[in-house]
Chain A
Amino acid sequence: MTEKGSKPLIKCRDVAIAYDKLLAAEGITFDVFEGDYICITGENGSGKSTLLKGILGLNPLKSGKIDYFGISKREIGYLPQQTSIQRDFPASVYEVVISGCLGKRGIRPYYNKKERQLADYNIERLGIADLKKRSYRELSGGQQQRVMFARALCASERMILLDEPITGLDPMVTAELYSIIRQLNNDGVTVIMVSHDASGAIREAKKILHLDTTMKFFGTAEEYIQSDIGKRFLSR
């Protein structure tokens, strides 16, 4: 495989996560290497978001373990599957983006120059500089996703977890976002993305993780296309 020489950032070993009695994910074992681009696919309710939250430390593990090497849980940028609250929340684009720096700030009660510059840099990088002062709730779905991206990048330059960043966007905007992700990955950002867009996933990502509560497949995109489960999922 390609990761010869590079070292793992995260090792998941036989991870299981449950809500009360409901087992949402189990038997998940895989490594994340520096510079990886992994796409997690699976049906609705197959435990994709649950697994991401497990990696972020938001969901406690029922069993198994996740080890982090040279990266802490807090140094992972996160783009959550959107909640309904945000849709009518009065907040400017800048306020949302810079809130990604909060983890770096510690107990200091204000953002320093470096953090403000980082926010500006990521706003620029995602091409939303002209929206900086606009209200988040007035933006289109695609623009909102770019804001979420910029915020995730403020939290981490090294690794971002994206939960369905392209769901509900039109093909044009989807293509743009894919190219942004590709660009970030080329810049050395490790990407783990949840997506329902199977054809996009095999085209864009280097590796695929197929979930159906248990891990059904983990390997390169080429291997996935050849596998039974991949063929079935792709031909839906």
Chain B
Amino acid sequence: MIMDLLSYEFIRRALFVGVLVAVCSALLGVSLVLRRYSMIGDGLSHVGFGAMSVALAMNVAPLAVSIPVVILAAFLMLRISENSKIKGDAVIALISSSSIALGVIVTSLTSGLNVDVYSYMFGSIYSISKDDAWIAGGLACVVIIIWVLFFDKIFAVTFDESFASATGTKSGVWNTVIALLTAITVVVGMRVIGTLLISSLIIFPVLTSMQVFKSYKSVTISAACVSVAAFVIGVAVSFAFSTPTAATVVVTNLVCFGLFCLIGGIRKGSRKNG
């Protein structure tokens, strides 16, 4: 059956883009979750939805509008989170729900909730065009290469920003890079997994891995593997039971999380007893 499925080009394309998005979101998730910036991933996806609805209503290319808007929002949100004077999480929640509200109003005033809008909310993994696949693939490769080359720098900035700056790592630059990559991943991921669920792809794999693994490197590698595995399994299951793909991928992630919690618990227990 698997061979049969893989003979369809749209399925191969879906898997290719999906796997890349899964890896990127897991990598970025490590940085965002560990710095308690999970809210940013969520907020950005909602901003993306707003931008996209407006783009569809105005009949311009959705990606061309949403990428710059989301990048801008990413910078803004990081700034806000760093500034201790403002309640960061509250402001991010404000921005993100306002974006949804705007998107919904614009949509209902123009076309109504049509197929395009629906597909951005819940992803439309099998209708990815060849061009979209190339863009997604290219962006994902950029994220992964940057991550591999600057692994230690990103670790240092994430773990202890003031120490990193004191020894000459430019924390500001790296924060900007992380914001930029997050924005790109969220926008590309929206196409595959949908606005409503992309943030779960950022958060789940890291949380899952942290239940079992103890070092930064092992958590990062495990997060990438878990993310890919959950994606592929989720797609397969959604085929077998004809369930919605994106939602099935998220539920698969939830199951992985449960499994890892169990393994982590057993390990802890055996260490205490042994």
* Chain A residues close to B by CB (< 8 Å): 53, 56-58, 73-74, 76, 78, 80, 83, 85-86, 89-92, 94-96, 99-100, 102-103, 105, 109-111, 133-135, 138, 151, 155
Contact = CB atoms under 8 A, between A and B. Distances in A.
Contact of B166 (A78, A96, A133): A78
Given A95-B217, A151-B163, 15 more contacts: A58-B162, A78-B167, A80-B160, A80-B162, A80-B163, A86-B159, A89-B159, A91-B215, A92-B216, A95-B215, A99-B155, A99-B163, A102-B168, A103-B168, A134-B214
Interface of B: 34-36, 148-153, 155-156, 158-160, 162-169, 210, 213-219
Contacts of B219: 90
B210 A109 contact: no
Contacts of B216: 89-92, 95
Contact of B215 (A53, A78, A83, A90): A90
Nearest to A156: B167
A78 B166 CA distance: 7
26 contacts: A58-B166, A73-B168, A78-B162, A80-B160, A80-B166, A83-B160, A83-B162, A85-B35, A86-B159, A89-B158, A90-B34, A91-B159, A91-B216, A95-B155, A95-B217, A99-B155, A99-B159, A102-B164, A102-B167, A102-B169, A105-B152, A109-B148, A109-B149, A109-B150, A133-B215, A135-B214
A223 B165 CA distance: 36
Contact of A90 (B167, B169, B213): B213
Contact of B160 (A86, A109, A111): A86
Given A95-B155, A111-B152, A90 B214 contact: yes
> What's the dominant secondary structure at chain B's contact region?
helix
Contact of A102 (B34, B152, B162, B214): B152
A103 B159 contact: no
A194 to B, nearest CB: 14
A96 B156 CA distance: 8
Contacts of B159: 85-86, 89, 91, 96, 99
A39 B219 CA distance: 39
Instruction: Report the 10 A-B pairs with minimum CB-CB distance, sorted nearest first.
Output: A103-B167, A135-B214, A92-B215, A74-B168, A78-B166, A103-B168, A56-B166, A91-B216, A99-B156, A109-B149
Given A85-B36, A102-B169, A109-B150, A91 B155 contact: yes
A73 B217 CA distance: 29
A74 B164 CA distance: 10
Contacts of A110: 152
A74 B215 contact: no
Residue among B153, B158, B162, B218 with the most chain A CB within 10 A?
B162
Contacts of A105: 152
B130 to A, nearest CB: 33
A21 to B, nearest CB: 13
A42 to B, nearest CB: 20
A99 B166 contact: no
A83 B90 CA distance: 22
Contacts of A58: 162, 165-166
A92 B34 contact: no
A99 B152 contact: yes
A85 B160 CA distance: 8
Contacts of A89: 34, 158-159, 216
Contacts of B166: 56-58, 73-74, 76, 78, 80, 155
Contacts of A151: 163
